[in-house]
Amino acid sequence: MTDCTIRNIEYLDFGKVKLLEKAPKFLFKAHELAYNFINDKHYSLTALLAYNNRKLGEGFNNYDTTHPMQLKFSNRGENRQFIHAEIHVLTKTRNIPVGSKLYIARPKCDKSWGNSRPCAGCMVALAKNNVSHTIYVHSNKFIEEDIRQYR
Sites of contact with Zn ion (CB under 5 A): 4, 84, 119, 122
Reduced to 3 states (helix: H, G, I; strand: E, B; else coil), residue 126 is helix
Give the N- to C-terminal CA distance of the chain in Å, as an integer.
30
Q: Shortest approach of Zn ion to residue 69 CB, angstroms?
A: 11
DSSP-H helix ranges across the chain: 4-7, 25-36, 68-74, 85-92, 120-127
Q: Shortest approach of Zn ion to residue 85 CB, angstroms?
A: 8
Q: Shortest approach of Zn ion to residue 22 CB, angstroms?
A: 25
CB closer to Zn ion, 46 vs 53? 46
CB closer to Zn ion, 11 vs 52? 11
Q: Shortest approach of Zn ion to residue 34 CB, angstroms?
A: 15
Q: What are phi and psi of 119, to 5 degrees?
A: -70, 170
CB closer to Zn ion, 92 vs 110? 92
DSSP-derived secondary structure letter, 82: B
CB closer to Zn ion, 84 vs 101? 84
Sign of CA dihedral 79, 103, 118, 15: positive
Give the nearest residue (CB) to Zn ion.
Answer: 122
